[in-house]
Amino acid sequence: MQQLSPLASSSPEILLRITMHAVDELGPPQEWLNLVLCCSALQRQLDNSTVHALVFARKFYRLRPAHPLAGDAKGELRRRFGALKVFRRACVDGDGDGDGELRDALRIAHGMLGDEAPGARARTVAQLRWAGLPRLLVRFLEERWYPLEDDIPTPAESAPFPGLQIYSILCYFARLDFFTPTLPPHLRKLAPAPAPATHAAGRADAEHFISECRARRCDARARVPAPGDRGYRVGSLAGQWQGSSLIPCIDEYKRWVSDAGENAPGAMTTFSRVPLYVTLREHFSTAVVDRGEGAAGLFSSWKETEHGIVTSDASGKQFFYKTYHDAKEQPSSSSITDVVTDDPYASAWGSFKFLGRIRLADGLVTLQRESLDGHGTTLFKGYLVSGDHFAGRYREFDGAAAAAAGVTEESRVAEWEAAFSLSRVIS
């Protein structure tokens, strides 16, 4: 009869205490795995759900009995440390299975941080630092995510999520608005009276922006596609939105462009925020109308009717866009949706008219904003996230922002692109 080693013949309490001391360091629980592989006796005592939960608590946090991961702590350990190993291998340089492996690991890391309360993330953050994630992200951004602009359209990604840049924009605005902004010095001395009916923001306008237009949360995880969800759902963009956009300091931007050279420039230290108030109304197309019907044979025009909009191209082919109403069930629609809106806060922040389209396949929203004060046109592109957030990037393409900032044609610099974030107004 084979005699058990002193370790294998120890009581379960002593074995468990030894195991917990062995796995107390950062990184995978390699010592626990070595003990399990020693012999079948140790495997029976140490490879069970109770020990898995205790090891998970040592490495990350204690699982409550009602926690979704409580029944599969071993699988979650394997998943998390698999992601940490990807970061340790620094697969950006070619080690590992490529971008897909890194993308999956980043999503796991995002879930690791979002699964815990803010005050209980110290152990998880320590594990991510042990894996070298901060250094890896900095190098990855420097080497791979510096934007390259071209005029060639590219198809949408096949993944059911918007690009990672949208989530980055949401997180950035949420962090930016964590602290309450202060009133500009020239508005602090003014009485809190409504601004006059001119194109100038008053104290009441600034206070409304500070109190109502901040991104107080970033619930990007809520954008999980439901079964059968294939893209944009008609009517999701209709309603009132408010938020802000970023504008760089013109002088710093000139210096930023001149110093960039062939390398990615550093972060800009000075920028401004401009409030955005938008009311959107959707019209969705249903069918093509024969030439000569509907809008009396109009060419290259569009006509608003009681129930929607009729458009006509240069050949006379016409399309009908029915106005979306939230209380009604809508029929299936075509591949694009038109958006028409006006700005109810024109007296403070300027008068604008929006017209755009939505690519239903993936929900890409493109809005053209035309200034009614002669400040040019701006193009907005972004995605809806979790139904209550609309974020993306915008850029001027005929001097819109430069004219609004009083920049003359002689001092114009290269066009720039910046981020915006809007939240739905819940009435």
DSSP 3-state of 123:
helix
- Parallel, antiparallel, or unpaired: how do β-strands 301-304 and 377-385 relate? unpaired
DSSP string over 73-133: HHHHHHHHHHHHHHHHHTGGGT-SS-HHHHHHHHHHHHHHHHTS-GGG-HHHHHHHHHTTH
Give 176's contacts (C-beta < 8 A, 6+ positions apart): 215
Express as a percent the part of the chain with pLDDT over 90. Answer: 3
Residue 380 is predicted with a pLDDT of 93
Residue 352 is predicted with a pLDDT of 83
- Per-residue pLDDT of 91-112, as tens digits, reads 544 454 556 788 888 888 888 8
Residue 147 is predicted with a pLDDT of 46
The C-alpha atoms of residue 361 and residue 310 are separated, in whole angstroms, by 23
pTM to 2 decimal places: 0.51
Residue 302 is predicted with a pLDDT of 52
Among residues 88, 83, 81, 63, the alpha carbon closest in space to that of 73 is found at 63
Compute the CA torsion angle 135, 138, 141, 146 (nearest 10 deg).
Answer: -150
Residue 381 is predicted with a pLDDT of 92
- Per-residue pLDDT of 31-79, as tens digits, reads 777 777 777 777 777 777 878 788 888 888 776 655 656 667 888 888 8
The C-alpha atoms of residue 56 and residue 234 are separated, in whole angstroms, by 43
Where do the structural domains in the chain lie, given as residue ranges? 12-142, 185-424
- Per-residue pLDDT of 329-383, as tens digits, reads 444 444 455 554 445 566 667 778 888 888 877 788 999 998 887 778 889 999 8
Q: Token pair of 196, please?
A: 């006059």
- Per-residue pLDDT of 232-281, as tens digits, reads 788 888 888 988 888 877 777 777 667 655 555 566 666 778 888 888 88
